[in-house]
Amino acid sequence: MKDQKDRLEALRADIERRNPAQPEFHQAVREVLETLAPVFAARPEYADPAVALVERLTEPERQILFRVPWQDDRGRVHVNRGYRVEFNSALGPYKGGLRFHPSVDIGVVKFLGFEQIFKNALTGLGIGGGKGGSDFDPHGKSDAEVMRFCQSFMTELHRHIGEHTDVPAGDIGVGGREIGYLFGQYRRITNRWEAGVLTGKGQGWGGSAIRPQATGYGSVLFAAEMLAVRGEALDGLSAVVSGSGNVALYTIEKLQRLGANPLTCSDSEGYVVDDKGIDLALLKQIKEVERGRVSEYAARRGSSARFVSGGRVWDVPADVAFPSATQNELEARDARALVAGGVKAVSEGANMPTTPEAVRILQEAGVAFGPGKAANAGGVAVSALEMAQNAGRVAWSEQRVEDELAGIMRSIHTVAHETAERYGAPGDYVVGANIAGFERVADAMLAQGVI
Ligand code: NDP
């Protein structure tokens, strides 16, 4: 085991040297490598330096960078950068979302693509890992500007994607509106009705029921599974949720349906705490219809709600917590605040929202911790179901997709839980999810030769 730890440490140092100035990618790789020593000890074929499996797994199969020029409503030309990292296709076509946010750079896209490989493997469905996006900021842009940007982005991206090659979807800053513009341009350029090239489409034109809800619903179902192992249920529990985008809204919806009381939501300007519980209809009106800010919620809701400028939801005591905004949004001091408030479970709706030190604090305090790779896999799982429906030119009922999603989340929980036990780390879902995802991808890579 000591030898394996030394080899993994040397590998990590080499990866950081070869990929400078990519802190998020380093963090994601480190977090996975730290948990792999026991599987390398048990299965030496994975660790054989002559096979260089981990070296291949941490090097994307293909990285695409391109210029995205577009004109604003006044006719001024802007230039953004577009990215698509096609990380690993051992299990199926590259699959993963597009993120439009000013913080996007190659390191962020690689961290997300790397995580996606293991997440997609955990779903048990035939999808590889990829991710993309742009440093374009959709906030404050008109619909016409967003459309022109999406059309320019797809004018380059279309030559790299396809239903059997690479299938993007949404992420931060990319929702139904953006997927619509991207799909329209793809269809126009290629002259193909290739529904399976993008997921997250509108339900009237190839989209799946429950896709917008899937990530948030799945994260809540994962929390329910973790609690059930401890003989508890969500009914009657208070919850804190960060973010107010796609994942956060449907986390709140599912929590309310299961009898829990979500008290908060947030955006990059601050958070709202509502003592009566979030009024989801009002929040959806502000976020989905008016594209407004959470501060407006507090202003319109009345005396039960207040807006805390610049604060973080983790200061609000609650039984369960759902980080659902962005990476590294829950730090050590936030974890301590959650523990002091009596939190029982944390389920990551966002990707890598909890810093490594915060994860350690939560786990040492006995909090059930569901890592994003497992807890937020419901979104990509329903995306894969959307691809299946597109391939068969059929549309499944809401009930069928919801049942499938529940079954997939249960099975991800079971596999992460059992794998953690098998490798001597009972209750550690980080270890379980990393190893279970890794084994599936590694076996496929070994079987497919030196690729
Ligand atoms: P949205 O764009 O719909 O919402 C993002 C939310 O997070 C907004 O409230 C936004 O606030 C907030 N946010 C974003 N960046 C920051 C930041 N730097 N600081 C504070 N708040 C921030 O994105 P999604 O809901 O789709 O995605 C949220 C997370 O879930 C991401 O980590 C994503 O990778 C992950 N995820 C998403 C999936 C999906 O199906 N959509 C699937 C799996 C994971 P503001 O408006 O102020 O920027």
Nearest-CA residue for ligand 1 atom 13 is 325
Q: What is the pLDDT of residue 300?
A: 97
Cα distance between residue 136 and residue 120, in whole Å: 26
Tell me the pairing of strands 345-347 and 77-88: unpaired
d(CA 144, CA 179): 14
* CA 325–ligand 1 middle distance (angstroms): 4
- Residue-level pLDDT at 399: 98
For residue 2, is pLDDT > 80? no
The CATH superfamily assigned to 214-370 is: NAD(P)-binding Rossmann-like Domain (3.40.50.720)
On whether the CB atoms of residues 211 and 386 are closer than 8 A, the answer is: yes
Fold agreement (62-194, 214-370): yes
Q: Whose CA is nearest to atom 20 of ligand 1?
A: 268
Distance 293 CA to ligand 1 centre (A): 14
pLDDT digits (tens, 9 = 90+) for 212-234: 999 999 999 999 999 999 999 99
Q: How far is CA 312 from CA 4, 8, 240, 267, 302, in A?
A: 39, 35, 10, 9, 21
Most informative mutation of 213, 267, 355 for ligand 1 (most atoms within 8 A of CB) = 267
Which pLDDT score is estimated for 51?
94
| Helix ranges, 367-428 (H) | 372-375, 378-392, 398-422
Distances (CA, A) of 278 to 242, 263, 265, 342: 12, 6, 8, 21
Which CATH superfamily is 62-194 part of?
A: Leucine Dehydrogenase, chain A, domain 1 (3.40.50.10860)
Which numbered atom of ligand 1 lies nearest the CA of 101?
A: 15
Phi/psi at 432 (nearest 5 deg)?
-60, -45
User: Which residue's CA is the nearest one to ligand 1's atom 36?
Assistant: 350
Number of H helices, E strands in the chain: 18, 13
Token pair listed for 10:
């040397």
Residues 84-121: tens digit of each pLDDT: 999 999 999 999 999 999 999 999 999 999 999 999 99
Per-residue confidence band for 6, with pLDDT thresholds at 50, 70 and 90: confident
What are the pLDDT digits (tens) for 339-365?
999 999 999 999 999 999 999 999 999
Test site for ligand 1: of 324, 326, 327, most ligand atoms within 8 A of the Cβ: 326
Q: pLDDT value at position 97?
A: 98
Indicate which atom in ligand 1 lies nearest the CA of residue 265: 9
Can you spell out the DSSP letters for 29-45? HHHHHTTTHHHHHH-HH
What pLDDT, on the 0 to 100 scale, is given for residue 303?
96
Mutate to test the pocket of ligand 1, among 116, 118, 247 (most ligand atoms within 8 A of CB): 247
Ligand 1: distance of its center to the CA of 98 in Å? 12
Q: Give the tens place of pLDDT for each residue, 23-77.
A: 999 999 999 999 999 999 999 999 899 999 999 999 999 999 999 999 999 999 9
Q: What distance in angstroms lies between residue 350's CA and the mean position of ligand 1's atoms?
A: 7
Token look-up 């997609």 returns 120
110 is catalytic: no
Domain spans, the chain:
62-194, 214-370
Give the mutation target among 95, 171, 222, 352 for probing the ligand 1 site: most ligand atoms within 8 A of CB: 171
Across 440-444, average pLDDT = 98
Q: Look at ligand 1, atom 4, and give the residue with the nearest C-alpha.
A: 245
Report yes or no: 253 and 325 within 8 Å, Cβ to Cβ.
Answer: no
H helices of 123-245, in order, are 143-157, 176-190, 211-229
Q: Are 121 and 440 in contact (CB under 8 A)?
A: yes
Residues 6+ apart with CB under 8 A from 326: 172, 243, 350, 353
Question: Which ligand 1 atom sits nearest the alpha carbon of residue 248?
Answer: 25
* Widest pairwise Cα distance in the chain: 66
Residue 373: partners with Cβ closer than 8 Å, 6 or more residues away:
115, 118, 119, 122, 433, 434, 437
Residue 395 has pLDDT above 80, yes or no: yes
pLDDT at residue 4, rounded to an integer? 81
Active-site option among 95, 110, 119, 131: 131
pLDDT tens digits, 306-330: 999 999 999 999 999 999 999 999 9
Residue 5: the pLDDT is: 83
The set of protein residues with a Cβ atom below 6 angstroms from ligand 1 is 170-173, 175, 215, 243-248, 267-268, 324-326, 349-351, 376, 379
Band (pLDDT 50/70/90 cuts) for residue 22 is very high
Atom number, ligand 1, closest to the C-alpha of residue 112? 34
Instruction: Give the whole-angstrom CA distance, residue 248 versus residue 253.
Output: 9
Q: What is the pLDDT of residues 240-299, one digit of tens each?
A: 999 999 999 999 999 999 999 999 999 999 999 999 999 999 999 999 999 999 999 999
Q: Which residues pair with 171 in a beta bridge?
A: 174
Mean pLDDT on 182-194: 98
Report the share of the chain in percent with pLDDT over 70: 100
- The chain-wide mean pLDDT, for the chain, equals 97
Rounded distance from Cα 307 to ligand 1 centre (Å): 19
- Give the nearest ligand 1 atom to 380 CA: 42
Nearest atom in ligand 1 to 175's CA: 3
* Edge-first strand listing for the sheet containing 345-347: 261-262, 238-241, 320-322, 345-347, 368-370
Q: Is 449 exposed, middle or buried (0-12, 13-18, 19+ CB in 10 A)?
A: exposed
